[in-house]
């Protein structure tokens, strides 16, 4: 028995979302009614039903509707590439079901956030069960370590996890919604604790006043604390363990520290990003040197004393790697006096002890860390149950393989969130200006993403499998005749059949060119850098190769299907033509026979008439025989 309805106004996750119009169309495809005013902060008003009872839990139908809406609202540009145009509700729901698991994960967590202010019990019921799960690991109790209490759940242990290093496991069953970590704000290494530090606070304030970026000041604070802990084994610091766990530059770190030859094997995208990051770090190094020189006015050697020595480029590189791979970003309301002339951001990067031990999994059971401004603590909750002896992981987000490699230094063998971005080059020929206008009018991008398989293949746009609809639409414009173009027709439909076959051939050529370098083995002996970096290079290249092969396989299946359709259509046309020809011949044969018979009857009639007495009957003269 359902209680009375209640209306929930759901706001856009990002006020300046440039894809509001496309997302509104997707909601309409699914049968929802978003608000027509795109300038409004509210995207849709959704009517929810609640079960009878004191907890007011959502009905399953309402919860499913809410998560469907949130899946659309949290979609990124890459995910919108796979939404079909002018689709039916069935096709729209198929497209929703084929999105990467991370989209549903983000949607569930977003649903919890929008429900929490008014419907706390309903928010708790929106968990990741069925979306997330913890993986079982073998734990040696004699070598596992308990985490400090009360900031960590008593069931947590630190243990060696195969192929992952240190990780966090639970030694008893823990239910969904339970807190794993509650780290007080004075235990977080960030700009606020830098300002409150008796060792670094004065310098931090001077650097902020000089205009140095907040993250740069936080990086310098981490360098100072690391040096202080190294200089004195008895020095007290809440961040000693997390800083000691951080790898040094001499260890196997992120691609930003790799030799150029190893970087080139990852492709142009990562090589260019590493180069840009290094250049920005050199610029930051110069800014830091200038700011520290100015800070010396506060007293002789004050900056060097606070930092434990001079700061080099390598020091900043170490700190950059540390924060890229282990920090969390938290929205924290400042609780203390402000600094005149300095505007601190609402969201700051933080190093959180013990939380840095949580490994990544796309199906991780932990909800994203958040800062509770009432309790003044970082909170990490379980968003799905975890059984005894399983590792609890975070999802670092819907990151592609190159992003995981660049920011965290690892590349999974199978990544459901992986993408390959391809740019379709527009040929410089006559008529291309008109086609560019058509692309813009239909909102068709020339930069699209490929995703890994396998998608369930069906009818209509579902016939594309893992291929993005935008890619086919783009090639239709490039290869088709503008006056006869139907970019929104389903693949192989009607007049687009022959054009689609040409498009699929051209797309296969494009994908084959991208695939060829990944299939060609490197000649000769392994390069000098292979022992250190080769396993990750191999994992990355294998991931990209499988992704391309999945798309090529679905492309060929669709082309075969369309070719058979085309052949069958041609056979039908040929058979119909032959039938018409045969019918035409029969008609003329019958007509000729009738004409001949008719002429014979006329001759007989003339002879009979002439033999009869009386006036001669006027009968028509027969046409001469051919």
What is the model's pLDDT at position 221?
97
3-class secondary-structure state, position 83: coil
Q: Find residue 11's DSSP bridge partners.
A: 42
- What is the Cα–Cα distance from 94 to 463, expressed in whole angstroms? 11
- Decide which of 125, 156, 172 is a domain's last residue: 125
DSSP per-residue letters across 542-601: HHHHHHHHHHHHHHHHHHHHHHHHHHHHHHHHHHHHHHHHHHHHHHHHHHHHHHHHHHHH
H-state helical runs in 296-415: 302-307, 313-326, 401-408
Assess whether pLDDT exceeds 80 at residue 506.
Answer: yes
Q: Which helix (H) or strand (E) holds 517?
A: helix 497-519
Q: Find residue 166's DSSP bridge partners.
A: 160
Tallying the residues shown for the chain, one arrives at 626
Range from 446-460, 504-518, 522-536 that averages highest in pLDDT: 504-518
- What is the Cα–Cα distance from 24 to 44, expressed in whole angstroms? 9
Q: Find residue 179's DSSP bridge partners.
A: 381
Which tens digits make up the pLDDT trace of 440-456? 988 898 999 898 876 66
Q: For residue 256, is it within any domain?
A: yes
What is the model's pLDDT at position 592?
56
For all residues of the chain together, what is the average pLDDT? 84
60: its two tokens: 């399953």
Does residue 27 contact residue 44 with C-beta atoms inside 8 Å? yes
- Decide which of 528, 546, 569 is a domain's last residue: 569
Which tens digits make up the pLDDT trace of 392-438? 999 888 888 999 999 998 888 778 888 888 889 888 877 888 999 99
Q: For residue 181, is it within any domain?
A: yes
What is the model's pLDDT at position 618?
44
| Residue found by looking up tokens 């929930």 in the block | 8
171-202: string of b/e by CB count within 10 Å (b at 16+)? beebebbeebbbbebebbbbbbbbbebebbeb
What is the model's pLDDT at position 100?
73
Q: For residue 310, is it within any domain?
A: yes
Nearest to 203 by CA among 117, 306, 123: 306
Assess whether pLDDT exceeds 70 at residue 600.
Answer: no
Cα-Cα end-to-end distance for the chain? 91
Does residue 326 contact residue 215 with C-beta atoms inside 8 Å? no
Q: Indicate if the alpha-carbon torsion angle 494, 495, 497, 500 is positive or negative.
A: negative
Q: The domain spanning residue 367 has which CATH number?
A: 2.170.270.10
Query: Where residue 625 falls among pLDDT bands split at 50, 70, 90?
Result: very low
Which tens digits make up the pLDDT trace of 268-283? 888 999 999 999 999 9
3-class secondary-structure state, position 234: coil
119 and 138 share a domain?
Answer: no
Q: For residue 313, is it within any domain?
A: yes
- Compare 412 and 509 and report the one with higher pLDDT: 509
H-state helical runs in 308-387: 313-326
Range from 82-96, 336-350, 377-391 that averages highest in pLDDT: 377-391
Which tens digits make up the pLDDT trace of 28-85? 999 999 998 988 999 999 999 888 777 778 888 888 899 999 999 999 887 888 888 8
Compute how many other C-beta atoms are within 10 angstroms of the C-beta atom of residue 129. Answer: 14
- The mean pLDDT value for 478-490 works out to 88
What is the model's pLDDT at position 204?
94
Query: Where residue 582 falls among pLDDT bands split at 50, 70, 90?
Result: low
19 and 61 share a domain?
Answer: yes
Q: Indicate if the alpha-carbon torsion angle 80, 84, 86, 92 is positive or negative.
A: negative
When divided into structural domains, the chain yields a total of: 4
Q: What is the percentage of the chain residues whose pLDDT exceeds 90?
A: 42
| Residue found by looking up tokens 């300046």 in the block | 16
Q: For residue 408, is it within any domain?
A: no
Q: Give phi and psi for 258, each to the nearest 5.
A: -75, 155
447 and 498 share a domain?
Answer: yes
Q: What is the percentage of the chain residues whose pLDDT exceeds 70?
A: 85
Q: The domain spanning residue 470 has which CATH number?
A: 3.90.1420.10
Assess whether pLDDT exceeds 60 at residue 521.
Answer: yes
What is the model's pLDDT at position 182?
96
150 and 264 share a domain?
Answer: no
Residues with Cβ < 8 Å from 537, sequence gap 6 or more?
Answer: 262, 265, 266, 530
| Residue found by looking up tokens 């850098």 in the block | 529
535 and 502 share a domain?
Answer: yes
Which tens digits make up the pLDDT trace of 291-345? 998 886 555 467 878 898 999 999 999 999 999 999 999 999 988 778 888 889 9
Q: For residue 176, is it within any domain?
A: yes
- What is the Cα–Cα distance from 251 to 532, expressed in whole angstroms? 10
- What is the Cα–Cα distance from 118 to 259, expressed in whole angstroms? 53
Q: Find residue 556's DSSP bridge partners.
A: none
Does residue 589 contact residue 488 with C-beta atoms inside 8 Å? no
- What is the Cα–Cα distance from 173 to 458, expressed in whole angstroms? 41
The number of helices, as runs of H, and strands, as runs of E, in the chain is: 19, 14
Query: Where residue 14 falls among pLDDT bands split at 50, 70, 90?
Result: confident
216: its two tokens: 């740069």
339 and 359 share a domain?
Answer: no
166 and 232 share a domain?
Answer: no
- Compare 168 and 611 and report the one with higher pLDDT: 168
294 and 343 share a domain?
Answer: yes
Q: Indicate if the alpha-carbon torsion angle 541, 542, 543, 544 is positive or negative.
A: positive
94 and 169 share a domain?
Answer: no
Bridge-based pairing of strands 390-391 and 135-136 is antiparallel
Bridge-based pairing of strands 145-146 and 156-161 is antiparallel
Query: Where residue 517 falls among pLDDT bands split at 50, 70, 90?
Result: confident
- What is the Cα–Cα distance from 595 to 576, expressed in whole angstroms? 28
198 and 319 share a domain?
Answer: yes
Q: For residue 615, is it within any domain?
A: no
- The mean pLDDT value for 364-385 works out to 93
- The mean pLDDT value for 175-180 works out to 91
- Decide which of 82, 100, 125 is a domain's last residue: 125
Q: For residue 265, is it within any domain?
A: yes
- What is the Cα–Cα distance from 81 to 421, expressed in whole angstroms? 11
Assess whether pLDDT exceeds 80 at residue 131.
Answer: no
H-state helical runs in 232-267: 240-245, 260-264
User: What residues make up the domain containing 142?
Assistant: 133-185+354-394
What is the model's pLDDT at position 471?
93
30 and 118 share a domain?
Answer: yes
541 and 509 share a domain?
Answer: yes
């Amino acid at each position: 028995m359902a209680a009375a309805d209640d209306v929930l106004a759901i706001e856009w996750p990002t006020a300046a979302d440039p894809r509001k119009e496309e997302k509104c169309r997707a909601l309409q495809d699914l049968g929802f009614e978003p608000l027509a005013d795109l300038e409004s902060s509210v995207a849709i008003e959704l009517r929810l039903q609640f079960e009878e009872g004191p907890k007011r839990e959502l009905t399953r139908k309402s919860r499913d509707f809410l998560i469907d809406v949130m899946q659309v609202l949290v979609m990124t540009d890459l995910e919108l590439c796979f939404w079909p145009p002018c689709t039916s509700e069935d096709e729209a729901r198929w497209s929703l079901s084929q999105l990467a698991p991370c989209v549903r994960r983000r949607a569930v967590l977003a649903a919890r956030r929008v429900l929490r202010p008014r419907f706390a019990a309903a928010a708790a019921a929106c968990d990741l069960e069925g979306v997330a799960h913890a993986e079982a690991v073998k734990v040696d109790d004699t070598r596992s370590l308990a985490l400090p209490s009360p900031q960590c759940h008593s069931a947590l242990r630190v243990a060696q996890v195969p192929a992952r290093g240190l990780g966090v496991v639970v030694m008893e069953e823990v239910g969904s919604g339970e807190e794993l970590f509650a780290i007080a704000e004075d235990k977080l290494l960030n700009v606020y604790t830098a300002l409150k530090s008796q060792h670094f606070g004065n310098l931090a304030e001077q650097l902020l006043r000089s205009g140095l970026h907040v993250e740069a000041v936080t990086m310098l604070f981490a360098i100072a604390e690391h040096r202080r802990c190294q200089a004195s084994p008895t020095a007290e610091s809440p961040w000693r363990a997390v800083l000691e766990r951080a790898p040094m530059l001499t260890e196997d770190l992120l691609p930003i520290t790799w030799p150029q030859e190893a970087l080139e094997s990852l492709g142009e995208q990562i090589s260019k990003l590493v180069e840009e990051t290094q250049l920005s770090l050199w610029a930051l190094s110069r800014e830091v040197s200038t700011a520290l020189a100015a800070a010396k006015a506060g007293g002789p050697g004050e900056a060097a004393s606070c930092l434990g020595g001079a700061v080099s480029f390598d020091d900043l590189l170490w700190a950059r790697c540390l924060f890229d791979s282990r920090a969390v970003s938290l929205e924290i309301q400042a609780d203390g006096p402000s600094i005149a002339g300095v505007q601190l951001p609402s969201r700051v990067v933080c190093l959180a002890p013990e939380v840095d031990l949580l490994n990544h999994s796309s199906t991780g059971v932990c909800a994203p860390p958040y800062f509770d401004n009432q309790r003044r603590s970082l909170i990490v909750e379980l968003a799905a149950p975890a059984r005894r002896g399983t590792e609890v992981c975070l999802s670092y987000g819907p990151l592609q393989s190159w992003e995981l490699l660049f920011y965290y230094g690892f590349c999974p063998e199978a990544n459901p969130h992986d993408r390959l971005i391809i740019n379709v080059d527009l040929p410089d020929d006559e008529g291309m200006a008109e086609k560019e206008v058509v692309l813009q009018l239909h909102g068709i991008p020339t930069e699209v993403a490929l995703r890994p398989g396998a998608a369930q293949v069906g009818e209509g746009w579902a016939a594309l499998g893992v291929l993005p609809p935008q890619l086919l639409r783009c090639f239709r414009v490039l290869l088709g005749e503008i006056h006869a173009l139907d970019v929104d027709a389903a693949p192989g439909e009607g007049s687009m059949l022959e054009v689609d076959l040409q498009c699929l051939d051209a797309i296969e050529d494009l994908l084959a060119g991208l695939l060829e370098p990944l299939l060609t083995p490197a000649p000769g002996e392994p390069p000098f850098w292979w022992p250190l970096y080769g396993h990750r290079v191999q994992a990355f290249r294998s991931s990209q190769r499988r992704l391309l092969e999945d798309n090529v396989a679905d492309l060929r299946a669709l082309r075969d299907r369309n070719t058979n359709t085309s052949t069958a259509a041609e056979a039908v046309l040929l058979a119909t033509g032959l039938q018409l020809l045969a019918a035409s011949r029969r008609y003329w044969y019958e007509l000729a026979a009738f004409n001949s018979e008719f002429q014979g009857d006329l001759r007989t009639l003339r002879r009979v008439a002439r033999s009869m007495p009386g006036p001669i009957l006027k009968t028509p003269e027969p046409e001469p025989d051919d």
